[in-house]
Amino acid sequence: MLPTSSSPKISAVVLARDEADYIEPCLRSLAWADEVLVLLDPESRDATEAIARRLGARIEQRGFASFGALRNAGLELARGDWVLFVDADERVSPGLAAEIRQAVRGGDAGYWIPRRNRILGRWMRGTGWYPDEQLRLLRRARARYDETRLVHEVATVDGPVGRLREPLIHLNYASLSEFWAKQRRYTALAARTRARAGRPRARALLGAPLREFWRRFVTLHGYRDGALGLVLSLALAYFEWETVRQARALTYQAAGEAS
């Protein structure tokens, strides 16, 4: 049960599956919240649940349908007036916690939070990973996610949305193999979402990756990250091509099954 006072209550919600290597410091960084809810994938096989219970988190299980569906479940299950979504490899600093506590006293319905990403042991300066704003602090009754968007979900909020200044710390990819594996998973989900909107044109196989490289390396200042920014920009351009290719394949497959 949440403590009673005049201040709005904040539920920190963590989506988790096999996160035993990350979950403890994440939950410790959320000790200031009125409630910590771990939404655990029932297919999780490591010690994530045991660690979360030991640290006093409330555990609920939900299978994966889409990230939007999981976040909507978090909004429905949370008991606080506000929900802060945090991933297991993210950390909330004392400065950000204090800013959140102050922000929820205002009239906004949500807040964008900048995020600092550490990739391959380096703090990113650009390439889309800084300031990398995330709409993660939401007035629970006034936010909803589109569940048809399988990945890269953003909430729709009924009301004004503000911006915080203190960053959320993201201990992102520790190795290129981890980066590659996660991007392959995101690409498959993004392709399914894109296919639902219709078959991408063939010219998108060239245009989409070129635009993504320019966006990452030039518009989002990937050049500030030097060789790492170049490598990651090229890799993400490739995955954009792969998204279009898979989306086209899915639409052809669906057309064949329907005929």
Integer Rg of the chain from CA? 19
Mean pLDDT over residues 249-258, rounded? 87
User: What confidence category does residue 250 fall into, taking pLDDT thresholds of 50, 70 and 90?
Assistant: very high
pLDDT band at 6 (very low <50, low <70, confident <90, very high): confident
SS3 91: strand
Instruction: Give pLDDT tens digits for 152-210.
Output: 899 999 999 999 999 999 999 999 999 999 999 999 999 999 999 999 999 999 999 99
| pLDDT per position as a tens digit, 30-66 | 999 999 999 999 999 999 999 999 999 999 999 999 9
> Which tokens in the block code for residue 84?
């802060």
Average pLDDT, whole number, for the chain?
95
CATH 3.90.550.10, the chain: domain bounds: 10-170
Name the residue with higher pLDDT: 1 or 70: 70
Helix, strand, coil share (%) of the chain residues, nearest 5: 45, 20, 35
What are the backbone angles phi and psi of residue 83, rounded to the nearest 5°? Answer: -120, 130
Is residue 2 pLDDT above 60, yes or no? Answer: no
3-state secondary structure of 34: coil
User: What SS3 state is found at 221?
Assistant: coil
pLDDT-based confidence at 149, cuts 50/70/90? confident
pLDDT for the residue numbered 257: 78
Which class does domain 10-170 fall in?
A: alpha beta
pLDDT at residue 259, rounded to an integer: 64
Integer CA distances (angstroms), 58 to 81, 176, 220, 252, in order: 17, 33, 38, 44
CA separation, residue 230 to residues 14, 20, 195, 204, 215 (Å): 32, 32, 29, 22, 12
| 3-state SS class at 156 | strand
Report residue 123 CA to chain centroid gap. Answer: 18
Q: pTM for the full model?
A: 0.91
pLDDT above 80: residue 236: yes
Sorting pLDDT into bands at 50, 70 and 90, what band is 3? very low
Q: What is the per-residue pLDDT across 72-101, written as a single tens digit (0 to 9) for each?
A: 999 999 999 999 999 999 999 999 999 999
What percentage of residues in the chain have a pLDDT greater than 90? 92
- pLDDT score of 5 more than 60: no
With a CB cutoff of 8 Å and minimum separation 6, the contacts of 10 are 33, 34, 35, 80, 81, 82, 83, 84, 100, 101, 104
Angle at 184 between CA 179 and CA 190, to 5 degrees: 120
Task: Enter the tokens of residue 107.
Answer: 């009239």
